[in-house]
Amino acid sequence: MKEKLWIFIIKFVLISFPLFVLWYWRGEDYYLVLLDHVLTFLLIKIAGLNLEYFPAPKDIFNNLIPFVSLMVITRGILYKKRLLWLAEGLLILIGWHMILTEIVYIMGVESPIYVKFSVPLYLFSETMPFLLWVLFARKQVAGLFTKRKTLK
């Protein structure tokens, strides 16, 4: 039986809300520490750059939550495939966070380039969970938005 879109939206809100609470309670802090360690290792230890501070655009790192919520509530995905897609999507998002942090660092928060390109970068970042969800679960997503053909 096909799930109604409004039920899907309610499930999305019910899963996302506690995840956002956990994120803002402790998750964001732990994630920033992890991201800082990884970036420090990659840029200072491996690349040999002498950097002291990364201006992490942490306000958009919460885009992990909608992706997790969407992958958890989408019906019709086998368990192993769901875990694989969830892991792949999270790795892509985390990689994007690292790239975005470096872009912000290179541009400089006070520069006119940052002012001009920050909104498109952040909008792209906020749509990434939905793009990845559509990419991974395109059959299930199409089923949410199309009517089932009835046999006569």
Q: Decide if pLDDT at 43 tops 80.
A: no
pLDDT at 2: 72
Which bin fits 56, alpha (ψ -120 to 50), beta or left (φ > 0)?
beta
pTM recorded for the entire structure: 0.81
pLDDT tier at 84 (50, 70, 90 boundaries)?
very high
The pLDDT, as a whole number, for residue 12 is: 95
Q: Is 121 left (phi over 0), alpha (psi -120 to 50) or beta?
A: alpha
Mean pLDDT of 24-40: 83
Tokens for 63? 């885009």
Residue 94 pLDDT > 80: yes
Closest CA to 128 of 62, 39, 47, 59: 62
C-alpha distances in angstroms, 122 versus 45, 89, 113, 116, 149? Answer: 28, 18, 14, 11, 39
Q: What is the pLDDT of residue 82?
A: 95
Place of tokens 């019709």: 76
> Residue 133 burial (CB < 10 Å; 0-12/13-18/19+)?
buried
- Which residue is it, tokens 């992958």? 71
Which structure tokens are listed for 47? 């690349």
Boundaries of every domain in the chain: 5-145
pLDDT band at 107 (very low <50, low <70, confident <90, very high): confident
Q: What is the pLDDT of residue 129?
A: 95
Q: Is residue 152 pLDDT above 60, yes or no?
A: no
